[in-house]
Amino acid sequence: MASTTLTAQNFEKTILEEDTVLVDFWAEWCGPCKRFGPVYEAASEQHPDIVFGKVDTEAEQALAAAANITSIPMLMAFRDGILVFAQAGALPAPMLEDVISKVQGLDMEAVKADVEAQRAGAAQPGS
């Protein structure tokens, strides 16, 4: 499966409706982004069960701002609608494969429990 263009109109829907979503925030003028692009595309072909999204930060400036993108390329990974990984920089293929295997290997019940615990703690003043 080739990568999918994500925009402000389909970003949230994609993140919430798909099991695993990787997102590459990039720009045409960015040298490291151009080097990472083929690596990302190759991984998308090897993992048809994962959505590989791409956000052009020039075309989607509001979306990039909402995602707090300050450096590109920026790779984010979501599982069950939860951000589980974010890292700036162009990853070589073996490192990208490592990220993918770790994201797919997450115990999402434990992740969801951690998220709930953090929300509960944040809801209590003085904690």
pLDDT reported for residue 126: 59
User: Of the residues 15, 21, 33, 91, which is catalytic?
Assistant: 33
Class of domain 4-123: alpha beta
- H or E element at residue 5: strand 4-5
Q: Is 80 a catalytic residue?
A: no
User: Of the residues 15, 23, 30, 51, which is catalytic?
Assistant: 30
Calpha distance 23→35 (Å, rounded): 16
Weakest-pLDDT range from 5-9, 58-62, 72-76, 122-126? 122-126
Taking only the tens place, the pLDDT of each residue in 31-60 is 999 999 999 999 999 999 999 999 999 999
- More confident call, 116 vs 75: 75
Measured torsion, CA atoms of residues 115, 117, 119, 122, in degrees rounded to the nearest 10: -140
Q: Is 13 a catalytic residue?
A: no
Weakest-pLDDT range from 54-63, 93-102, 116-125? 116-125
